[in-house]
Amino acid sequence: MMIFYAVLAGLLSVAYLIIMFRYWIYWERLPQWELPLAYIAKTTVSIIIPARNEAAHIVAILQAIQQQNYPESLLEVIVIDDHSEDETASLVQAFQGLSVQLLSLADHVGATQNNSYKKYAIELAIQRAKGTLIVTTDADCVMGKDWLNYLVSYYQQTGAKLLAAPVNFFQEKSGMARFQSLDFIGMMGITGAGIHGGFGNLCNGANLAYEKAAFFAVDGFTGIDTLASGDDMLLMQKMKKQFPEQIAFVKHPAATVYTTAKEDWRSFIQQRIRWASKSSVYTAWEVQLILVLVFLYCVNIFIGLLCWPFVAGMIWWLGGQLLVKISIDYFYLRRMSNYFGRSDLMQYFLSSQFLHIAYIVGIGLLANLVKKYEWKGRKIK
């Protein structure tokens, strides 16, 4: 048993080191996007915001969009109210200074009809959208004044069919929120590196842009509409299959969308189960392999943490695994947190490492065995 653990620990440590080093290399190779000197906005844009019970946030995002340095004549905003039980719809209707089209998902889809409410909401909005470029974000987000210009300028310069861009947390009020922020900053590096290197399909629907024509060219969400999640990564997977060289990541802090971390462990776990639930339908073997190897690596460490007091010699292999993980994660996360101007988060690095191991193991098991979670007050299977 000890020999098996030791061999597995060594192999998984090497695999993790290679995986993370590869992400770091491709992040460094990914050029930072700058606004071209001769850039003039010419693209019509439809910003789509699905919203369910977002009365606390909807005004803030509409204000952030209103303040964009982008021609109003080229911009439309569509909010889709997803059976909200609060004042979301009335706040959108009362908003002044920005022309917003409000759609009600209840007019098209029943409150208990299916799991894919967000996809139905986005698809409904796209059918009504007039813009050449669709930009999706979430109702609990905000962004800087040049956010849209970075996305559009990249699209105009390159003709990319789908653009992912950074999403980060801000305004943390607890250690738990800071853990999520540090973890998410690391995920942004993995997202950008994977897209640039051609071996990853990660992205976030809170900051995603794609051609309306390309969306219809891949038949939208058809084939991926049985899962509640996946309006971003699974759509990217479809786009990449048809437009393999036209998927990109807009690397610049000014292209970032900001949202807040989950306030309690229950909502955090439910969110991560929702994200992980779509991993079983990834078609790229390399993505699947990375997910499996990282999960097994964390499981191996977790077993070592539980068993080392009772098994002679296990402490040395456990220590070696922790040294590898902590070292590579430290250099990687320090680079990423510095890039996004959040070096303050590194003071929580060490405690976050053990939380990271626990949640990778726990969420991985729950997402693949239980496959049930709650989202926006709905119980999803």
CATH number of the CATH domain containing 191: 3.90.550.10
State residue 366's pLDDT score: 81
Residues 110 and 162 in one domain: yes
C-beta separation of 115 from 93 below 8 A: no
Outline where the chain has alpha helix (H): 2-29, 58-66, 88-94, 117-128, 147-158, 175-197, 212-217, 233-242, 265-276, 285-307, 314-339, 349-365
Q: Note whether residue 274 is domain-resident.
A: no
Residues 246 and 295 in one domain: no
Q: Note whether residue 267 is domain-resident.
A: no
Residues 306 and 179 in one domain: no
Residues 345 and 249 in one domain: no
State residue 1's pLDDT score: 63
Residues 212 and 289 in one domain: no
Length of the chain: 381
Residues 219 and 356 in one domain: no
CB atoms within 10 A of CB 369: 8
Rounded to an integer, what distance in angstroms lies between the CA atom of residue 287 and that of residue 281?
11
State residue 240's pLDDT score: 93
CB atoms within 10 A of CB 267: 13
Residues 12 and 87 in one domain: no
State residue 372's pLDDT score: 65
Please list the ranges in the chain whose pLDDT falls under 70: 1, 110-115, 228, 277-283, 370-381
C-beta separation of 89 from 102 below 8 A: yes
Helix (H, G, I), strand (E, B) or coil at 228: coil
C-beta separation of 254 from 150 below 8 A: yes
Rounded to an integer, what distance in angstroms lies between the CA atom of residue 121 and that of residue 231?
10
Q: Note whether residue 363 is domain-resident.
A: yes
The letter for the amino acid at 285 is W
C-beta separation of 149 from 39 below 8 A: yes
Residues 18 and 48 in one domain: no
Distance of CA 352 to the CA centre of its chain: 19
DSSP 368: I
Q: Note whether residue 277 is domain-resident.
A: no
State residue 172's pLDDT score: 94
C-beta separation of 183 from 191 below 8 A: no
C-beta separation of 314 from 2 below 8 A: yes
Whether the pTM exceeds 0.85: the reply is yes
Expressed as residue numbers, the domain containing 294 is 2-27+284-380
State residue 257's pLDDT score: 98
Give which of 209, 372, 349 is closest to 277, Cα–Cα: 372
Q: What's the domain count of the chain?
A: 2
State residue 123's pLDDT score: 95
Helix (H, G, I), strand (E, B) or coil at 82: coil
